[in-house]
Structure 1
Amino acid sequence: VSSTLLFFIFGSICYYRHFEPTLKSHPKFLKNQVRQEIRESMLTLLIGNILTAPIFVAQIRGYSKLYGSPEEGPGYWYEAAQFLFFLAFSDTMMYWLHRLFHLPLLFNTMHKGHHRFIIPTPFSAYAFNPIEAYIMSLPIHAYGFILPMSKFAYLVIFLMTNIWSFLLHDSQDTFHTVHHKNVKFNFGQFLPLWDQLAGTHQDPVYFFSSKKRSV
């Protein structure tokens, strides 16, 4: 229930504040697209919650390295540093997982459905194959089993990562929008670092300016 509520709250805010309504007239904007995005996201959330339940049980039973107060962690310095460590960990994992789902077999069986939204709205943030979405969510949870993580940081990161997913799909002329228009580029989640290192980076300013020049 809470995940559905968050989906509609943050999805609606991002949709009405960031998504350009005129894009719904774009020839590549699908008929009843928003309805499709919401329906698929709801299914993904339902199945994802079921699949993620064992992770939460493991956390409750003390199998993770989550901790409560700063005194229980590695030190006060870590309270800020853990966000940077998570960023490095998550961006690395998400980049290569995303690349994995662009291999022909996985792309055609799972990821391709998400890419039919060439002009995505924020409601497409979870419109993935449910199994794929679950796998892509694992870095958020895995960090706290590998390295210490405060429960506060875990909650903040969980919320911010989900909000970021909505913003990534607002179809503004930004980093991830390039990926929806050309699947060869911009696989990263937060930073372009791995795209730059792996040769898959496309600057959105250049990409969209060249698109306009070619029209």
Structure 2
Amino acid sequence: MDIILQYTDEYVFTPYIYPASWEENNPMRQCLSLFFITWSMGYISYLLVAVPSYFLIFDHDMMKHPHFKKNQLRQEIFQSSYAMPIMFMMSTPMYYLEISGKTRLRNNYDDTYLGYFNMVPELIGMILVVDFLSYTVHRVMHHKFVYKYLHKEHHKWKVATPFATHAFHPVDGFLQQMPYHVCVVLFPVNKYLFVVFLVFANIWAVTIHDGEFEMPDWMKSVINGPAHHTDHHMYFNYNYGQFFTVWDRICGSYRHPSTFEGVGPLDFVQKLELQETKTTPQPPPKYDVDVCELPTDSGVESADEDFNGSVCSFEEEDIDDDVVAPTGICKNCTKIDNVLNTELDHLSYNDSKCIHIYKQVVSQENVFVSNSSNTLSNDIISSLNNSNSIPNTNSTETLIRRRFSVDFENSSMNEFRNKRRRFSFRG
């Protein structure tokens, strides 16, 4: 951090920010500079990692989960933006101790036996120490006397996104940073390696919130990945670790990720969508005319036999599977609409073979007659209403049907042909 402070003093703070009378080695100036450096670097790195992770890696189907809050992204970003300056202000004294030589940070490996190979044990040591201390701090944050005051702010997001990485209470965020600073007090660490490790830790914090659950099988029980941390947000009392699951296993807080068992939050979303698909009622078919129901006592019967030249003259192989015969029409009358459009002038009515209409029904329902001259015969209607039987007509003269929403007496033949009909006979 002292190298970064040196360059920012030389090119930014001294010529443009601070007065010339304020010396570079002034402790107050150094602390203020460290605060701006760590805050700006932390916020920039947060956005540089979280934004691509959200758009490229995060599964947006997770946002359909019932626990995903309204305007959650905005709230996560706002909480992070509010917490980070306070968090880094509280961490500034630790950074000052590091640049002032009060810790075991070192510039090079000249005095070591392994030289630069000494970076390997240093890196392993930092990972192990941070993992243990992070587990301890995290477990304390979940204590009932602490959780509701500090850590609850972070657990508002049961289904977290990459932007929830730094959405902490400021004190909680500061305590979560402390394990990294403890490392440089316990054992020697190269200062460049320490900065790289801080950057890596920031990226890791984003990845465990990105919802990308895929990982090699051998890592699923060892690495505390996104699936493990997702269960931590969902169930609270499991998977506290930072990098590994070892301390969760030792302390009895390990939970095998529900995602790997097929019952994770994303699986839940998919099941909800499947249930909605099955339970959503299908909209009724749209017709151009209204459907009118016949009275329950209407006497319409169906014939079992076909007759030549009648509406019922279609064979079964001519009937489409998706066509449903209207109620009350003979079994084979499933193409009645097409017939009415194409063979209206060539149809015949046979009262003994197809549909029997009784006097009491005719007196209650509208009867529509189409003849070869495209006009309605008032004489036929009168005879139907006043007689006990259906009048005999020529085979190609009339077609009797009842209960249309369009009054055939006031409609032209073209309008009758162009409209789609639906009958509501009772068979």
TM-score, shorter chain, exceeding 0.5 = yes
CA positional deviation for 1:84: 0.8
Task: Give the aligned partner of residue 34 of structure 1.
Answer: 73
Q: What is the aligned-residue RMSD (CA, Å)?
A: 1.7
Which residue matches 2:175? Answer: 135
Question: Hey, what's the Cα distance between the residues in 2 that align with 1:18 and 1:202?
Answer: 24
- The structure-2 alpha-carbon separation of the partners of 1:191 and 1:175, relative to structure 1 and needing over 3 Å to count, comes to same
Amino acid at match of 2:146: L
Q: Distance in 1 between matches of 2:114 and 2:233?
A: 41
Match of 1:82 in 2: 122
Which of the residues 34, 38, 49 maps onto 1:10? 49
Greater relative contact order (Cα < 8 A, sep 6+):
1
Matched, 1:59 2:98: yes
Structure 1 residue 48 displacement after superposition: 1.4
Determine helix, strand or coil for the equivalent of 2:110.
helix
Bigger share in helix: 1
Alignment map for 1:1-215 (pairs within 5 Å): 1-73=40-112, 75-76=114-115, 77-173=117-213, 174-204=227-257, 208-211=261-264, 212=267
CA distance in 2, matches of 1:56, 1:84: 22
Q: Write the letter of the residue equivalent to 1:13.
A: P
Would the aligned equivalents of 1:67 and 1:149 in 2 still touch at CA under 8 Å?
Answer: yes
Larger radius of gyration: 2
| Alpha-carbon distance in structure 2 between the residues aligned to 1:196 and 1:78 | 30
Contiguous gaps of at least 5 residues in structure 1: none
Aligned length: 214
Is the 8 Å Cα contact of residues 67 and 73 (structure 1) preserved in structure 2?
A: no
Do the aligned residues in 2 keep the contact of 1:66 with 1:149 (CA within 8 Å)? yes
Question: Residues of 1 paired with 2:240 and 2:112: CA distance?
Answer: 33
TM-score (normalised: structure 1) = 0.93
Once residues 191 and 146 of structure 2 are traced to their aligned partners in structure 1, the CA distance between those partners, rounded to angstroms, is: 34
After superposition, the Cα gap between the structure-2 partners of 1:166 and 1:206, relative to the gap in structure 1 and judged at 3 Å, is: closer
Over 3 Å counting, the alpha-carbon distance change for 1:114 and 1:155 in structure 2 is: same
User: Distance between the aligned counterparts of 1:166 and 1:130, measured in 2?
Assistant: 18
Report the Cα distance in structure 2 between the residues aligned to 1:162 and 1:2, rounded to whole angstroms: 11
Q: 1:74/1:88 Cα in 2 relative to 1: closer, same or farther (>3 Å)? A: farther
Amino acid at match of 2:247: W
Identity rate, percent: 26
Q: Give the superposition deviation at 1:4.
A: 1.4
Farther off after superposition, 64-73 or 51-60: 64-73
Whole-angstrom CA distance in 2 between matches of 1:126 and 1:73: 37
2: CA distance, partners of 1:52 / 1:30: 31
Q: How many Å separate the matches in 2 of 1:122 and 1:73?
A: 40
Whichever residue aligns with residue 58 of structure 1, its letter is L
